[in-house]
Amino acid sequence: MTQDILNARQSEILISTWESIGAEVDLEKILSIVTHAAKLITQADHASMALVEGAKLCFVFSSNDETNQLNRLRINIGSGIPGKVARDGLARRIKNWQYDSPVSSQGSKPKNITQSRSMLCVPMLYQNQPIGTIQVFNKIGVEQFTADDESALQKLANRAAVEVERLRLNERAVKESRRIHGIFEALTDGIMVVDMLGNPIIYNKAVEELFFPDGKQNFALTTYLSNAISTDSSSGNAEVVLFKPHNLILSNRYVTLSDAAGKPSEIVVSIRNISDQRAIDRRYSQFYAFILHKAGKIVARALKSKNQQTRNAILSKQKDLIRNLLFLTSLKSGPLRIEKENCNIVDLYLRSKQKAVPGMQKKGIILEDNSIADFPPQACRIDATRIGQVFKTLFRKACRLLSEADKMRVIFNLNAGNFNFEVIYIGKQVMECINEESLDWNKSVDKINSGESSSLDLDLAMVGHVINAHKGHIDIKSEGDDTSKIYFQIPME
């Protein structure tokens, strides 16, 4: 049982220590101040401090350790005297080389204590839970530590626990604040906090670029906020249309925050500019109506035709039209679902080549792919159906675009666990059909809607969709009017 009576020297040390650590903002300095104060207040030969970290007790400071190498020592909670103190929050002492347990009243010589004739270990209690321990060794001039020493050391330990937790909480709060601020700034959506009158309190860069161009407030901000927060609901979503000269459609979600008394104090608004998305959706709807109208005309022509060969040719166009619409639906609906399986990617290429070669030979197209003959079977995990579709599409491009004596050159190689494939088309005006824009289905649709093109070609956009679904990379480069290169890379899982 500890006593509450402190002598003048102990009281002076405690007050001085409390003043020092109360103004300190560096955890390492608090550990040093408290450890040395523990040594002084108990007149010990040396002292050390340990903090609870999960299921371990980590020794963080020692008055005899100038280089603080003790910080590497960790023991299990419940192991040794400090571990037991950290487990149950009960102080323990070694008296004249003998350990008296506070829970079993049994005495014994402690293990692994060969240089300590006396020891006192107290818990650092925060909200009645031990967060660490302070231990002092070998009271100077006498054989053992007293109950007064234990009382004084316990008071020091409990105040130290409060200060350590204060700095730990502050450190976690600062870290969390920086993390949230980083996310806040990195968001491409606008995030704004306003007071209940609609005055901005804080906002991220996306809002700044939208409503504060060149550092000056855009008058549209007032209109927007009055529409966004004019609601009796504490949360929800809305759309605000800003007419000329802004021509913006802004979608927002909002939530009202209350103060400690439950009174509404701030509104957090998430802002997304959906003007472009609306334009894309509108363009897609216009195009879809256009294609369906065109498909109806094709069917009408096929039904009127009495010549079977002509009818088949018309229906072939209809088939291509439907295939492109299916491609477009897959492109617009988001990430492609793929089913990976073990297969030989070289074999997939060779099977597509076998079907394409007769048509290419008939047109006199030259195929150069000698490098493939040097490759043994290449096992990998890919969606065989989709990658087979990629190879078929590339051969189909050659048959449609190239003429007699034109070339399709294919190059394989493996590098850093990736399968690299390059196809080069050499022929008149290939750049018009195979260029950087071929991977962007939006531009293909724009050309149809604007009348710039009369046919929709989504083949290469779909190839890019398949490669991206495999976490690969694809690129198209043109070299003059007569040479285009398609390069793609797929990880060999």
Q: What is the pLDDT of residue 110?
A: 44
User: Does 180 map to a domain?
Assistant: no
Phi and psi at residue 350, to the nearest 5°: -65, -35
Indicate the pLDDT class of residue 257, thresholds 50, 70 and 90. Answer: confident
Contact of 63 with 40, CB cutoff 8 Å? no
Virtual torsion, Cα 35, 40, 42, 43, nearest 10 deg: 130
User: Does 146 map to a domain?
Assistant: yes
Asked if residue 162 and residue 13 are part of one domain, the reply reads yes
Output the pTM of the full model.
0.49
Average pLDDT of the chain? 84
User: Does 3 map to a domain?
Assistant: no
Asked if residue 206 and residue 114 are part of one domain, the reply reads no
Contact of 265 with 258, CB cutoff 8 Å? yes
Q: What is the pLDDT of residue 231?
A: 64
Collect all residues with Cβ–Cβ distance below 8 Å to 252 and sequence separation of at least 6: 228, 237, 238, 239, 240, 269, 270, 271, 272
Asked if residue 293 and residue 229 are part of one domain, the reply reads no
> Measured on CA atoms in the order 160, 163, 169, 171, is the torsion positive or negative?
negative
Given a cut of 60, whether residue 302 has pLDDT beyond it is: yes
User: Does 1 map to a domain?
Assistant: no
Q: Which domain, by its residues, includes 464? A: 341-491
Q: What is the CA radius of gyration of the chain?
A: 38
Q: What is the pLDDT of residues 80-95, one digit of tens each?
A: 899 999 999 999 988 7
Contact of 466 with 390, CB cutoff 8 Å? yes
Indicate the pLDDT class of residue 403, thresholds 50, 70 and 90. Answer: very high
Question: Of 273, 298, 316, which one is at a domain's C-terminal end?
Answer: 273
Q: What is the pLDDT of residue 353?
A: 93
Q: What is the pLDDT of residue 114?
A: 45
What is the domain count for the chain? 4
Given a cut of 80, whether residue 277 has pLDDT beyond it is: no
Q: Give dist(CA 3, CA 23) in Å, integer.
A: 28
Asked if residue 232 and residue 361 are part of one domain, the reply reads no
Q: Give the CATH number of the domain where residue 248 resides.
A: 3.30.450.20
Asked if residue 287 and residue 256 are part of one domain, the reply reads no
Asked if residue 403 and residue 300 are part of one domain, the reply reads no
User: Does 2 map to a domain?
Assistant: no
Q: What is the pLDDT of residue 178?
A: 84
Asked if residue 326 and residue 348 are part of one domain, the reply reads no
Asked if residue 357 and residue 328 are part of one domain, the reply reads no
Asked if residue 205 and residue 167 are part of one domain, the reply reads no
Asked if residue 298 and residue 377 are part of one domain, the reply reads no
